[in-house]
Amino acid sequence: MNDLLKTVDWRVLSEKFQLASLVLIGEWDDAERVMVKMGEKGDISKLFYREWPLFRWFRKTEQFKRAYQEVFGEEYKIIGKADPENDPNEKSE
């Protein structure tokens, strides 16, 4: 898939598509740059950065954490299930 994505000139499309393609091919430094350029008022909201599966691996990088800090003025922290036994969405067997 990386080879296919690299055949498209994403620079002519909006920044959200540029960011998506960079994330998909693992170009974390460039993805960080585009995320910062888009800023807080860009097409992708804080909630989307936190929840969209597209950003799953990018969220684990230092580049994402730096960009998130710069864009939203706060540290990115994982808000998740601390105790799966107390999560009503988890089915017990």
Q: Is residue 72 part of a domain?
A: yes
Q: Is residue 93 part of a domain?
A: no
pLDDT at 74: 95
Q: Is residue 70 part of a domain?
A: yes
pLDDT at 31: 97
Q: Is residue 89 part of a domain?
A: no
Domain region containing 33? 2-80
Q: Is residue 90 part of a domain?
A: no
Q: Would you give the distance in Å from CA 89 to the centre of its chain?
A: 24
Q: Is residue 8 part of a domain?
A: yes
**CA 17 to CA 15: how far, in whole Å?**
5
Q: Is residue 91 part of a domain?
A: no
Q: Residue 39 to residues 30, 42, 69, 71, 89: CA-CA distances in angstroms?
A: 14, 5, 11, 5, 34
pLDDT at 77: 87
pLDDT at 78: 79
Residue 5 contacts residue 21 (beta carbons within 8 Å): yes
pLDDT < 70 positions in the chain: 1-13, 80-93
How many domains would you assign to the chain? Answer: 1
pLDDT at 13: 67
